[in-house]
Amino acid sequence: MQIIEKIKTNTLLSNPTEIQKICLEKLQSNPLPNLKSELWRLSNKSKFLKFLDFSLNGSCTNFEFPYQNNSQNIIRLIIGENSQININGENYSINQLNNEELIAYIKQNVSSFDQNENWSDLLNLCLSFEQNILGLRIKGKKIPPLEILSHATHNSINAKTLILIIEKNCNLDLLQINLGTENSSLSQSTYFCLEANSSVNHGMVAYGENKSNLLNSLNVIQKQNSEYNLGSLHFKFNYARFEIRIKQSLGNAKTNIKGMQITKNDEQIATYTKIEFNGPNGFLDQINKSLADDKSHAIFEGSIIVPKIAQKTDASQLSRNLLLSNHAQIDTKPQLEIIADDVKCKHGATISQLNEEELFYMRSRGLTLAEASKLQLGSFFKEIISFIPVPKGRWDLLNKLLKQD
Amino acid sequence: MKDVVKEPYKYGFVTDIETEKISKGLNEDIIRLISSKKEEPEYLLNFRLNAFKKWQQMKEPNWAELGYDEINYQDIIYYSAPKQKEKISSLDQVDPKLLETFDKLGIPLTEQKKLTNVAVDAVFDSVSIATTFREELAEHGVIFCSISEAVKNHSDLIEKYLGSVVPATDNYFAALNSAVFSDGSFVYIPKGVTCPMDLSSYFRINSGDSGQFERTLIIAEESSSVSYLEGCTAPMFDTNTLHAAVVELIALDDASIKYSTVQNWYAGNEEGIGGIFNFVTKRGKCLGNRSKISWSQVETGSAITWKYPSCLLLGEESIGEFYSVALTNNLQQADTGTKMIHIGPKTKSTIVSKGISAGKSKNSYRGLVKMGTKAIGAKNYSQCDSMLIGDQASANTFPYITSQQQNSEIEHEASTCRISEDQLFYLQSRGIEFEEAVSMMVSGFCRDVFNQLPMEFAAEADKLLALKLEGSVG
């Protein structure tokens, strides 16, 4: 809670930047979200307060990527490493946004933020120091895959902000990695603006260590004819919350989301998504998978909002959940809010355990129970992992997940 | 299309009958007055006062997707009854005007209409007017009477079960009802008895400034079964009338209760003026093993509907069902759904909900499915479909799903559609008129639910929907 106390008494920062000032002002009178509101009611209160119980750390420790870069063909960036980024290739360019552009963009976003709904973003911007805000403008085609990493440091709360403006007709593959370390809190906010006709394959992989916490927020604005594909994976966090807000600002855009969260021990991982269609002919295909074991708690709340203007929207949302222990809990709430009449919207949700008949089939062919369960889990995971773009191979995610068992 | 003559709300007449009303407002004295008028025993008065105390501390819920003007609870008459000199023993003594009213509503109250074989309890404003077929039911040991009579004659049952499913402090409107409830129906089916006929109660709000707060209690003993029907209408007033009812069902071992509602309260006019505010708490407790409670409802009326008929599945292998059609038109708002709380092992529940929104209305499904830690082998299947007619109406779906038991299965699906041009064209090209084609398709959309209704209700419901939608497509 020390962070909240400091926000209240306005002693958090000795020399706040313009952005920090604006966000602090929004939070000052009411520094906590309404924990009884729909968006927060399932959050474990003590875990959430633990998240805030670290001292703020803005300095950048040197960080080694967890694996070697043996390909020249990947561009790697670590948020917080202070170097001017200007990469110009044959058909593309990646440039860091200058300070004015950055401030203008953030200000524009913040102006529409609601204290409760965008609390994670407001907190992030309060805590994020200048060097921890990375803004990029990306143009062109045949861009080498990008890897962007955020990481936390021991015994502290860290805030990292990423802003990406994807110019018209640009295609990009991006893997974003959020790493927690022991006893740490990481607040990560990401802003995407996809201009017309652009397409992004976005991978979001987040995993922690013992007692690491994560507040991960993703805001995407899609202009017409853009395509946004997101594959996300969250695991090994004591407390993690992933908020996705996607707005198809003029409709006519395509969104595919495949997300997964895995909870063990007494972890709590939650995914909240809000997809808004602000124009006609939008498309959404979303699947979210949760797996809860031991005494853990997995949460998914997804809402799809189709106003009157969004005729001919085609949206589907599926929540598939595996509950593997008697002490674990799964909550899911796929939600539709529709006003337009000429739309196709559907959602579905299932909660079950591993399929017994399938297990029996495999065992009758000589597999042990452990092998058979592993095979079944593998197929459950694979649908999501195969959706995470290019550099995924190196992370060997599937093995990492299965080895956990 | 818009020119099609709209049939007005045909139950909108007011019966001019002398009524006994108490003064407006709500306080302890009023509650004592209601209680004394009904000559209630001490425990019931305490039950009321206790509920009232709790109610004063509670806040009106605002989480539902409903918008309405604040209700002034002090501007409501909490007791209104047609003046009658003495207790009636036969229908001949009932005021003919009252009988006429129920005749107009098509309710078979008089014994000549015996052929329909439905026993009816008619509730007019705050008081139960008449209950038919009593003797025949009594032969089988079935008790079917008004709550006030039950309080006098079957006090032990009332004391034991009243408030055992919906506690007085359950929610804001249940607390209000517990404090001021005036009448309602009481049903007791003894062990091993299958109720020989459908039971039915008919609720009628007649005066514009009195609220209606009825309470229904149905107890099905071991291995018994009963089917209960409920119908509601009200006259047209340009003020909003409050209706806050509580229904409690209790099913013991192997018992089954089927509760069907056709709710057609006055919905207000096209500009949304007037209409009933319908805040109802309905809950069934499957206490016994292999017991079953089935809710089916057709909700077409009321300006505001706030209603979640629920099942507490405690007994092993008990079953809960919920079949619902909710139709909203013009400026009606409905936030309705169900709760299936699985507590016992091998419990099963099925939810089928069909929402139709037309005009500028708002129709939300809100449902909770919860598997408790002991619900081993429990299963739930839910299906919620919405149909949108016109681009001004909204349809929302809020399913809350929680599971704490790995050996349970939950399946939920929802879809949204509209009446497709292709289908309309097909029907029209075969000589079926536009309006009829629409009504055929709506009826097809609701078929799964109508199949669950008792026959005479199903036919009525079909007609009701067609009537309500007239002129809204085009």
Residue A241 pLDDT: 95
**Which string of DSSP letters, residue by residue, matches A201-218?**
EEEEEEE--TTEEEEEEE
Q: For chain B, what is the mean pLDDT?
A: 83
Of A323, A328, A335, the CB nearest to B397: A335
Question: Looking at the 3D structure of chain B, how many domains does it have?
Answer: 1
The share of chain A scoring above pLDDT 90, in percent, equals: 47
**Rounded-to-integer distance, Cα A342 and Cα A340, Å:** 6
The answer as to whether B447 is a domain residue is no
Query: Taking CB atoms and an 8 Å limit, are B396 and A348 in contact across chains?
Result: no
CA B444 to chain centroid, in Å, comes to 23
Domain extent for B120:
19-422
The share of chain B scoring above pLDDT 90, in percent, equals: 39
Of B11-20, B137-146, B273-282, the range with the lowest mean pLDDT is B11-20
Query: Taking CB atoms and an 8 Å limit, are B386 and A338 in contact across chains?
Result: yes
The residue to which tokens 């929004």 are assigned: A26
Whether the predicted pLDDT of A298 surpasses 50: yes
Of A308, A326, A327, the CB nearest to B391: A308
Query: Taking CB atoms and an 8 Å limit, are A334 and B412 in contact across chains?
Result: yes
Residue B391's pLDDT band (cuts 50, 70, 90): confident
Query: Taking CB atoms and an 8 Å limit, are A338 and B396 in contact across chains?
Result: yes
Q: Cα distance from A128 to chain B (closest Cα, Å)? A: 34
Residue B439 tokens read as 């009504």
Residue B87 pLDDT: 45
Helices and strands (DSSP H and E) totals, chain B: 11, 23
Whether the predicted pLDDT of A21 surpasses 60: yes
Residue B233's pLDDT band (cuts 50, 70, 90): low
Name chain B contacts of A353, Cβ cutoff 8 Å. Answer: 406-407
Tens-digit pLDDT profile for residues B80-123: 776 654 444 455 556 666 666 666 655 555 544 444 445 666 66
Q: Cα distance from B238 to chain A (closest Cα, Å)? A: 28
Best-predicted range by mean pLDDT (A349-353, B65-69, B464-468)? A349-353
- For residues A60 and A148, the model is more confident at A148
What are the residue ranges spanned by the domains of chain A? 250-257+272-353, 356-405
Query: Taking CB atoms and an 8 Å limit, are A346 and B416 in contact across chains?
Result: yes
The answer as to whether B463 is a domain residue is no
Residue B458 pLDDT: 74
Query: Taking CB atoms and an 8 Å limit, are A346 and B415 in contact across chains?
Result: yes
Using beta carbons and an 8 Å cutoff, which residues of A are at the interface with B?
Answer: 38, 308, 311, 321, 323-353
| Residue of B63, B374, B404 to mutate for A, most A C-beta atoms under 10 A | B404
Q: In sequence order, which residues have a C-beta less than 8 Å from that of residue B212 and are 6 or more positions away?
A: B125, B126, B182, B203, B205, B241, B242, B243, B244, B245
Query: Taking CB atoms and an 8 Å limit, are B411 and A341 in contact across chains?
Result: no
**Rounded-to-integer distance, Cα A261 and Cα A266, Å:** 14
**Rounded-to-integer distance, Cα B322 and Cα B338, Å:** 7
Tens-digit pLDDT profile for residues B166-216: 998 899 999 999 999 888 889 999 999 998 888 888 777 666 677 788 899
Residue A244 tokens read as 């996705």
Query: What residue ranges in B308-441 does DSSP mark as E strands?
Result: 310-313, 319-328, 333-336, 339-342, 348-357, 362-371, 379-388, 394-403, 409-418
3-class secondary structure for A45-64? Answer: HHHHHHHCCCEECCCCCCCC
- For residues B465 and B428, the model is more confident at B428
Strands B118-124 and B127-131: antiparallel
The answer as to whether B373 is a domain residue is yes
Residue B10 tokens read as 């045909």
Q: pTM here?
A: 0.85
ipTM over cut 0.95? no
**Rounded-to-integer distance, Cα A245 and Cα A218, Å:** 6
Tens-digit pLDDT profile for residues B16-64: 666 677 788 888 988 998 888 888 899 999 999 999 999 999 998 888 8
Tens-digit pLDDT profile for residues A350-393: 998 888 889 999 999 999 998 999 889 888 888 888 888 865 55
**Rounded-to-integer distance, Cα B410 and Cα B416, Å:** 21
CB B367 within 8 A of CB B335: no
| Residue of B401, B411, B417, B441 to mutate for A, most A C-beta atoms under 10 A | B401
The answer as to whether B77 is a domain residue is yes
Residue B354's pLDDT band (cuts 50, 70, 90): very high
Tens-digit pLDDT profile for residues B308-341: 999 999 999 999 999 999 989 888 999 999 999 9
- CB contacts < 8 Å between A and B, how many? 113
Using beta carbons and an 8 Å cutoff, which residues of B are at the interface with A?
Answer: 63, 371, 373, 386, 388-418
The residue to which tokens 């674990």 are assigned: A328
The share of chain A scoring above pLDDT 70, in percent, equals: 92
Residue of B nearest to A347 (CA): B414
The answer as to whether B10 is a domain residue is no
Residue A306's pLDDT band (cuts 50, 70, 90): very high
Q: Cα distance from B346 to chain A (closest Cα, Å)? A: 14
CB A212 within 8 A of CB A241: no
What letter represents residue B171's amino acid?
A: N
Name chain A contacts of B400, Cβ cutoff 8 Å. Answer: 331, 333
Q: How many CB atoms lie within 10 A of CB B459?
A: 12
**Which string of DSSP letters, residue by residue, matches A140-180?**
ESSPPPEEEEEE--TTEEEEEEEEEEE-TT-EEEEEEEEE-
**Rounded-to-integer distance, Cα A213 and Cα A153, Å:** 11
Whether the predicted pLDDT of B362 surpasses 50: yes
Q: Cα distance from A306 to chain B (closest Cα, Å)? A: 9
Tens-digit pLDDT profile for residues A150-171: 988 888 899 999 999 999 999 9
The answer as to whether B467 is a domain residue is no
**Rounded-to-integer distance, Cα B215 and Cα B211, Å:** 13
Residue B114 pLDDT: 42
Best-predicted range by mean pLDDT (A52-66, A236-250, B458-472)? A236-250
Distance set, CA A316 to CA A284, A304, A309, A334 (Å):
6, 9, 18, 10
Alpha-carbon dihedral of residues B244, B246, B247, B251, nearest 10 degrees?
A: 160
Residue B169 pLDDT: 86
CA A313 to chain centroid, in Å, comes to 24
Strands B339-342 and B379-388: unpaired
**Rounded-to-integer distance, Cα A95 and Cα A98, Å:** 9
The answer as to whether B144 is a domain residue is yes
Residue B95 pLDDT: 63
Q: Cα distance from B218 to chain A (closest Cα, Å)? A: 33
Residue B234 pLDDT: 65
**Rounded-to-integer distance, Cα A99 and Cα A130, Å:** 9
The answer as to whether B70 is a domain residue is yes
Of B391, B396, B404, the CB nearest to A340: B391
- For residues B375 and A10, the model is more confident at B375
